[in-house]
Amino acid sequence: MSGELSPIDKAKFVAAKRAVEYVEDGMRVGMGTGSTAAWMVRCLGEMVREEGLNITAVPTSTRTAELARSVGIKVVSLDEAKWLDVTIDGADEYDGNLNLIKGGGGALLQEKIVATASDQMVVIADISKQVETLGAFPLPVEVIPFGWQTSKALIEETLIGLDVLGRTTSLRMNGDAAFLTDEGNYILDLHLHRIGNARQMSLVLNQIPGVVENGLFVDICDVVVIGYGDGKVEVRDINNGTVEESRLDFVESDNLFADLED
């Protein structure tokens, strides 16, 4: 099975495998959404089944919740858990200060709520997600459907005064209809190319009527675990100021890879 995986998928797997070492028995764990996070969920599921790991998970989307249940992980709501020991999630981009752009999968609101309700946020990624300055990946902004075109116009007007290279915005679609988040909201993707001041951008966007939340995660991430296709793993800890490298052997596991759709 391992021979069928692309180098990117191998990188995601080894990053996930290293990241789950932050999870200990009895922990309450936030689980992100997306293809990289799916590897983490399956790794934890294998630990639950084969090692007897006892954890409680708070997923950030319905599809992550379904995957977690399918691999034997106990799922509860954030209201039930109240606070989390660690959240492990992917990212669409990260910079040298571990600021992130998230929301490519459309779950940014729940992801940000869960991440900020955690003692620690660990991001798993491959090296392609590293950027010098955020903004190459379109910035998702979640807006309520009512008056969304007005919200879009206000965002575009606001961008004129901000340090960005592009100001094109687009409504995310799902076929012929607008993409809907788990909360029934729309997502506007901002094609900015470069975000000069991520903190300012985040604060300004969230002041616009109709905006629910944006995909900038500033001062939230504590650790980035970066996987490589050859099995190398790099762990960057922003709080300790450390960078550690290791290598993980890629071991086949039919239970882990079976039916992995993303």
**Is 231 annotated as belonging to a binding site?**
no
Instruction: Find the catalytic residue in 46, 93, 111, 213.
Output: 111
Active site residue 111: yes
Cβ neighbours of residue 196 closer than 8 Å, sequence gap 6 or more? 133, 162, 163, 164
Residue 166 near residue 192 (C-beta atoms within 8 A): yes
**Is 35 annotated as belonging to a binding site?**
yes
In angstroms, the CA 174 to CA 207 distance is 27
**Is 33 annotated as belonging to a binding site?**
yes
H-run or E-run covering 3: none
- Residue among 241, 232, 224 nearest 122 (CA): 224
**Is 91 annotated as belonging to a binding site?**
yes
**Is 36 annotated as belonging to a binding site?**
yes
Tracing tokens 């959404």 back to the chain, one arrives at 33
Q: List C-alpha distances in Å: 31 to 10, 87, 172, 240.
A: 20, 6, 24, 23
- Residue among 159, 157, 45, 32 nearest 86 (CA): 32
Report CA 11 to chain centroid distance, whole Å: 16
What does the block give as tokens for 67? 């995957």
Residue 92 near residue 130 (C-beta atoms within 8 A): no
**Is 89 annotated as belonging to a binding site?**
yes
**Is 34 annotated as belonging to a binding site?**
yes
169 three-class SS: strand
**Is 102 annotated as belonging to a binding site?**
yes
Q: What one-letter code names the amino acid at 204?
A: V
**Is 112 annotated as belonging to a binding site?**
no
**Is 230 annotated as belonging to a binding site?**
no
Give the residue numbers of the binding site: 33-36, 89-92, 102-105, 129
Q: Which residues are annotated as a binding site for substrate?
A: 33-36, 89-92, 102-105, 129
Catalytic residue numbers?
111
